[in-house]
Structure 1
């Protein structure tokens, strides 16, 4: 196991607050779990090679005049992936199609779908 970066601060906090050994271990393992999760997300972000990080929270739904906001928000669930369905984002330039596509990819790797694998499968299905 790599050195847990939170260990020094947690050990001082444990002394100051008189934690039991079990409490200290619980906090230490929790911090390690969070750190691993963050490293995994960073790795997926690099692998996906998004031009920028875009999220559903940042999307301005006033541009999407052709589709109801509820329908666009339903894309966030990514249930179409589990159903093996495709989606097509159509619209004029500047309405946020790329933003939504990146946001869906970002949501997918947040729940640890392997974006590069999905992209590779899509590429092979197209060609």
Structure 2
């Protein structure tokens, strides 16, 4: 019987003897040998893997915290953009401004082209 634990691309294989007696199956304490020796090696590997898992979780917590800060910044930026857009002139205002500008330019052109003739006409009367 064999079991395989894979973590981050690393594989550790533990092979247990299928022909163990029931006495060997009982875990012994201390340095008495038996199945405890292989158990100690497996526990050491698991402890090492737990250390890596804890480091990974710590890094993930940092990433989540940074992501929350980034999302807060994005929300603020969106609110500011909405505020700026709300202050922009409407289409109606733009049309009115263009009509007013066209009227002003037309009146100015008329005065430039026909102003002296109008002044003479007004003085003649």
Q: TM-score, normalised by structure 2?
A: 0.28
- Larger RCO, structure (CA 8 Å, separation 6 or more): 1
Length-normalised TM-score, structure 1? 0.27
Q: Which has the higher strand share?
A: 2
